[in-house]
Chains A and B, each alone.
Chain A
Amino acid sequence: MPPAEPILRELQARWGARTIRQQRTADGVPTAWVPRDSILEVLAALRDEVDAPYRTLYDLTAVDERARAETAEGAAGTALPPDEDGPSDPSPPDAPPDFSLVYQLLSYDRGEDLRLKVPLQGEYPSIQSVTGLWPAADWYEREVFDMFGIDFEGHHCLRRILMPPDWEGHPLRKEHPARATEMQPYRLPEEKFSAHEEAMRFRPREWGLAEGDWAAPASGDADENEIKAAIGSGDRAIDGTDYLFLNLGPNHPGTHGLLRLILKLDGEEIIDVIPDIGFHHRGAEKMAERQTYHTFIPYTDRVDYLAGVQNNLAYLLAVEKLTGTVVPERAQVIRVMMCELFRLASHLVWFGTYGHDVGAMTPVFYTFNQRERIFDIVEAVTGGRMHPAWFRIGGVAMDLPNGWKEMVDDFTRQFPPSVKEYEDLLVGNAIFRSRTEGIGRMSLEDAISWGITGPNLRACGLEWDFRKKRPYSGYENYEFDVPTAEGGDCYSRCLVRMEEMRQSLRIIEQCAKNMPDGPYISEDHAAVPPNKPETMANIETLIHHFLGVSWGLAVPAGEAHARIEAPKGNNSYYVVADGSTMPYRVRIRTPSFAHMQAVPLMSRHHLLADLLSVLGSLDYVLADVDR
């Protein structure tokens, strides 16, 4: 039977069902396995040749398949469906893959996703790089290399991205230890410390740059030690020009966290920027593989630590697709209300710190005051503030407290004048406009191909909001507008976020007004442990409670991908389950990662001060970049 999805039918018509093998997934995203040798061709066709092409490489990741109990449907190693079109397939099935590479594509024209998976064989397999098709693949391929040791042929600089350059092993491989008890005690003697420090030194060649591009004369045959010395001292005459090499970070007041930017400056003009990330890497994806589905929830809070429960939601939507849990209506509305409160909180932090980035010291105090009011509500509702870890599989942790409505109403009543005040204070200011207008401009085409999402994409003029285009958690029931702006510069990014604050407030008002009655968590005991009092009623619920709490829930094998419109862009979780109580693999695709990768594109040939305007306008959080 040919696949129902038109895009898979189209691909099969061209390459045959042997090349494009469909896999059905819990999330309904068209998914197919493509052999290693055909993938580049297929991807190129998808990007350029098909109607309404897939311009965005939304995510690229891998799964170490070697420890898996059951091979995924459609992967090499499983038989093809018997009623397949075309000639029957006499060849014996291949061995099951050792690794699979997952390409997630997105077409804004179609409003559709596509997932292509490539089976890879061998201990340290290799595959062609797709950086030629999508420049944005650069960091994603580096991450896969860093985490899995998969080699990408033709990648200009395949070096570690999140782990320290002298790390041994590739952490997301199944043989890599996940617990401290599996490793030797950690010691850091002086010489090891110095070696780490030395490994951090910037050497252009290691970053795939010809020495001539970066620092040394174009001839390129200069003595390497001499070049190192030149880079170390930071200046060297090249064609009569002295460049200044500035190591901005990892500790710097303007970078909002641990981020290192290596700048090549001509006076104050930025010739090139190389972001070096990974200083905030905590291995959330690896941790997921040793937590039950339930106990992983608190880790998600800390990914985008300004967006709190929004992270919970992205993860839980994926898990709920796997378990098939239906979330009760009241829980949906509570979730939306809390998410929008956190969107406001996140935007308030952004506004305050952005003001500070361009040298205005006051806005941050004003916005933190309002944020504190939001946290008062969050605290009353969840007991936590920044990291409430309050959503649960199938609903939320507990019902809303008495008096919640008055608190929310009070907040929504007093908030609108504040937004006006922020606009008057900063956005309308002539100095602020001169610092942001025309700075860090990005075309819509670039934004799409670099995987820019959220407010930053809408600032380029594309009206695309996952809450509208793929409503989740009942967002289709709310009235709100999706603000966009033209120009894609720092100022338009700012305008979009200012308006988003007002729209979030509208959603919160609607939630508070129309909060339905009913249960706050699903009663599906396959996914949710029964209430403790119920467990005393009969042996069934007692057993469910015991298993669900002590072992964790067993989630049916399969895979699901959920994406939400987080405050900073599209946050998505791709959960692969193998039928056990712990995820087999969790992939966290964060908006900040993609945005950070595009920083050089937006800041070249601006001044040093503009780099801070650009960084601030993107609204990233280092924890969200590095995970």
Chain B
Amino acid sequence: MSGPLEVLVRMVLTLALAMASAAMLVWVERRLLAAFQDRYGPNRVGPFGLFQLVADSIKLFTKEDWIPPFADRVPFILAPTIIVATGLLSFAVVPFTAAGALVDLNIGVLYFLALSSVSVYSIMLAGMASNSKYSLLGAVRAAGQMISYELAMGLSVASVVAMAGSFNLREIVAAQEGLPYVVLQPIAFLIFLIAGLAESKRSPFDLPEAENEIVAGYHTEYSSMKFAFFFLGEYLALVLFSSIATALFLGGGNGPWLPTIVWFGVKMAAIIYVFIWVRATFPRVRYDRLMAFGWKILVPAAILNLLVTGALVVAGSAGG
């Protein structure tokens, strides 16, 4: 019964899963950071502080939803919705289950990259519409950073696509039945992870919202649910990157004994754990070094990796 009802159910399930995991992640991250930092973290609301999330949501809902008088109203309101929308839309192609993704798109990888490019608009619009200097600085940093690292990310993904011979995430996962690409493509995996950190604006690449320097960067002027949308957007991005990384490099839900979705979750969690660990450990890089690192190291390395992969693939197909 692959009628509209089933599509609807799967849509709702996927979105609920994405939203729930993003929301849970807030709690997970706070608890994990606390563990890294010799403290307890939120442990008062509900068992293990699990309902902290509820308390936070109530707080955010009831805060004054303030639009600064000097802001440009329409883009100011539009900006936070874009980041959540692009984040959620991307989940359509993530192959969580054995049945594949919500939409079995044969250009799934491109779709993901395209939406991640669109999300830059959210940051840019927020920064410019706020009409505040800190926001502007944050937005300029974010735009430069995201566009630069997108390139490295695209190139690293291209090597995987070349090996799998498909843009379809389900097929890429299927191609890793024997050996996940993290073994065959370790450089691409590393580049993808670093670029993912930068794309999701996480430490040590959290320059667009570096509080010590530019207060809260592009969302300095946001409050209440509009701020919560940016917050949610960032965690969605984290879930998304870890799930795409799982699909591209860790063989998606492939694994013995356990159901696909569990394997997928475990692998995602491992990546998220690394992201949080990195956040607890590293200082923030400086803007010019971030750009230099992106353009002078990551992009050349990704190109080289792609060239070698391409040559091997061509040689392999010619030979075989």
Across the interface, which residues of B come within 8 angstroms of A356, CB to CB?
Answer: 212
Residue in B280, B285, B287, B288 whose beta carbon sits within 8 Å of that of A362 in the complex: B280
Residues 205-245 of A, flagged 1 when their CB comes within 8 A of B and 0 if not, give: 00000000000000000000000000000100000000010
Q: How would residues 22 to 53 of chain B score, 1 for a CB under 8 Å from any chain A CB and 0 otherwise?
A: 00000000000100111100000000000000
In chain B, positions 221-265 with a C-beta closer than 8 Å to chain A are none
Of all chain A residues, which has the CB nearest B284? A359
Residue of B37, B206, B212, B283 touching A253 (CB-CB under 8 A) = B212
B281 at the binding interface (Cβ < 8 Å): yes
List A contacts of B212 (CB < 8 A): 253-254, 356-359, 612
Would you call A38 an interface residue if the criterion is a C-beta within 8 Å of the partner chain's C-beta atoms?
no
Given the contacts A252-B215, A608-B214, A609-B210, A435 and B283 also touching, CB distance less than 8 Å: yes
Query: How far apart sit A365 and B41, CA to CA, in the bound complex (Å)?
Result: 12
User: A369 near B38 (CB under 8 angstroms)?
Assistant: yes
Assembly CA distance A357 to B213 (angstroms): 8
Q: Count the B residues whose beta carbon is within 8 Å of the partner chain — how many? A: 29
* A612 in contact with B213 (CB, 8 Å): yes
Which secondary structure characterizes the binding site on chain B? helix
Q: Tell whether, in the assembled complex, residue B284 and residue A358 are in contact, meaning their CB atoms are under 8 Å apart.
A: yes
Proximity string of chain B (186-220) to chain A, C-beta cutoff 8 Å, 1 when within and 0 when not? 00000000000000000110110011111100000
B296 to chain A, nearest CB (A): 14
The one of B37, B280, B282, B287 in contact with A609, judged by C-beta atoms closer than 8 angstroms, is: B287
Contact of A254 among B203, B207, B213 (CB under 8 A): B213
| Chain B residues within 8 Å of A359, by CB | 203-204, 206, 210, 212, 282-285
Whole-angstrom distance between the Cβ of B200 and the nearest chain A Cβ? 16
Give the one of B37, B137, B212, B281 with max A CB within 10 A. B212
| B141 closest partner in A (C-beta) | A268
Q: By the criterion CB–CB under 8 Å, are B133 and A431 in contact?
A: no
CB distance from B20 to the nearest CB of A (A): 26
Q: Is residue A425 within 8 Å, beta carbon to beta carbon, of the partner chain?
A: yes
Q: Which of A253, A268, A365, A432 contacts B215 (CB 8 A)?
A: A253
Q: Are B286's CB and A607's CB within 8 A?
A: yes
Other than A246-B133, A429-B282, A434-B286, give 15 A-B pairs with Cβ distance below 8 A: A234-B133, A246-B134, A252-B215, A253-B211, A253-B215, A359-B283, A361-B280, A366-B37, A432-B283, A435-B283, A607-B287, A607-B288, A608-B214, A609-B207, A609-B284
B:262-311 near A, CB below 8 Å = 279-289
For residue A489, CB closer than 8 A to chain B, the reply is: no
Closest chain B residue to A426, Cβ basis: B283
Partner of B283, one of A360, A365, A366, A369: A360
Report if A360-B282 is in contact (Cβ < 8 Å); known contacts: A608-B213, A612-B212. Answer: yes
Residues of B with C-beta under 8 A to A609: 207, 210, 213, 284, 286-287
Measured between alpha carbons, how far is A358 from B285 in the docked complex, in Å?
Answer: 8
Contact A429 B38 (CB under 8 A): no
- Interchain CB contact (< 8 A) of A355 among B33, B39, B137, B283: B283
Would you list which residues of chain B between 77 and 96 have a CB under 8 Å from chain A? none
Are B38 and A366 interface neighbours, CB within 8 A? yes
The reply to whether A361 and B279 contact each other, CB–CB distance below 8 Å, is yes
Contact with B along A394-437 (1 / 0, CB 8 A): 00000000000000000000000000000001100101101100
Any B CB within 8 A of the CB of A340: no
**Complex contact B203–A362 (CB within 8 A):** no
Given contacts A234-B133, A431-B284, contact A254 B211 (CB under 8 A): yes
CB distance from B145 to the nearest CB of A (A): 13
A253 and B210 alpha carbons, distance in the complex (Å): 10
Report how far A432 CA is from B38 CA in the complex, Å.
22
In the complex, the answer to whether A268 meets B204 with C-beta atoms within 8 Å is: no
How many residues on the A side are at the interface (Cβ–Cβ under 8 A)? 31
Most buried by A among B215, B286, B287: B286
A194 vs B206: C-alpha distance when bound (angstroms): 37
Residues of A contacting B288 with CB < 8 Å?
607
Is A27 engaged at the interface, CB distance under 8 Å to the other chain? no
**Chain B residues with Cβ under 8 A from A252's Cβ?**
215
Q: How far is the CB of B10 from chain A (nearest CB, A)?
A: 39
Chain A, residue nearest B281 (CB): A362
Is A610 an interface residue, CB under 8 A from the partner? yes
Chain B residue nearest to A615 (CB atoms) is B212
- Can you spell out 28 A-B residue pairs with CB atoms less than 8 angstroms apart? A244-B133, A246-B134, A246-B137, A252-B215, A253-B215, A254-B213, A268-B137, A268-B287, A359-B204, A360-B284, A361-B33, A361-B37, A361-B203, A361-B280, A362-B33, A362-B36, A362-B37, A362-B280, A365-B37, A429-B282, A431-B204, A431-B285, A434-B286, A435-B283, A608-B137, A608-B214, A609-B207, A609-B286
A435 to chain B: closest CB distance in Å? 6
Q: A359–B203 Cα gap in the complex (Å)?
A: 8
Q: Please state if B213 and A365 are interface contacts (CB–CB under 8 Å).
A: no
> Which of A244, A358, A360 contacts B281 (CB under 8 A)?
A360
Per the bound structure, the CA–CA distance linking A607 and B36 in Å amounts to 31
In the complex, which residues of chain B have a beta carbon less than 8 angstroms from the beta carbon of A611?
213
CA separation between A398 and B52, bound complex, in Å? Answer: 46
Are A434 and B210 neighbours in the complex by a CB distance under 8 Å? no
CB of A431 within 8 A of CB of B282, answer: yes
Task: Please report the C-alpha to C-alpha distance between residue A610 and residue B210 in the assembled complex, in whole angstroms.
Answer: 13
Contacts of A253 in B (CB 8 A): 211-212, 215
Question: Whole-angstrom distance between the alpha carbons of A365 and B33 in the complex?
Answer: 11
Residues 334-361 of A, flagged 1 when their CB comes within 8 A of B and 0 if not, give: 0000000000000000000001111111
Q: Which of B206, B280, B282, B288 has the most CB of A within 10 A?
A: B282
On chain B, the residues within 8 Å of A432 by CB distance are 283
Min CB gap B102→A, angstroms: 36
Q: Of A361, A434, A612, which contacts B285 at CB under 8 A?
A: A434
In the bound assembly, the distance between CA atoms of A234 and B210 in angstroms comes to 21
| Cα–Cα, bound, A426→B284 (Å) | 11
* Cα–Cα, bound, A268→B134 (Å): 11
| Contact partners of A607 in chain B: CB under 8 A | 286-288
Cα separation A612 to B38 with both chains bound (whole Å)? 26
9 closest residue pairs by CB, A with B:
A359-B284, A254-B212, A365-B37, A360-B283, A358-B283, A253-B211, A359-B283, A609-B286, A432-B283
Task: Name the A residues within 8 Å of B204 (CB-CB).
Answer: 359, 431
Chain B hits for A425, CB < 8 A: 281
Give the docked Cα–Cα distance between A612 and B33 (Å).
24
Q: Which residues of A contact B203 (CB under 8 A)?
A: 359, 361
Which residues on the B side are within 8 Å of A426 (C-beta)? 283
Nearest residue (CB) in B for A616 is B212
- A560 to chain B minimum Cβ distance, whole angstroms, is 41
Assembly CA distance A355 to B36 (angstroms): 15
Q: In whole angstroms, what is the CA distance A253 to B214 when docked?
A: 9
Q: State how many angstroms separate the Cβ of A141 from the closest Cβ of chain B.
A: 32
What chain B residues lie within 8 Å of A268 (beta carbons)?
Answer: 137, 287
Q: How far is it, in angstroms, between the C-alpha of A369 and the C-alpha of B37 when the chains are bound?
A: 10
List the A side residues contacting B39 at CB < 8 Å: 365
Q: Which residues of A contact B36 (CB under 8 A)?
A: 362
A434 engages B137 (CB within 8 Å): no
C-alpha gap A356/B213 in the complex (Å): 11
Provide the bound-state CA to CA distance between A611 and B289, in Å.
16
Assembly CA distance A299 to B292 (angstroms): 50
Docked Cα-Cα span, A357 to B143, in Å, equals 23
**Contact partners of B286 in chain A: CB under 8 A:** 434-435, 607, 609-610
| A246 / chain B contacts, CB cutoff of 8 Å | 133-134, 137
Contacts of A435 in B (CB 8 A): 283-286
Give the chain A neighbours of B287 by CB distance below 8 A.
Answer: 268, 607, 609
Q: Chain B residues near A361 (CB, 8 Å)?
A: 33, 37, 203, 279-280
**Cα–Cα distance between A357 and B203 once the two chains are bound (Å):** 13
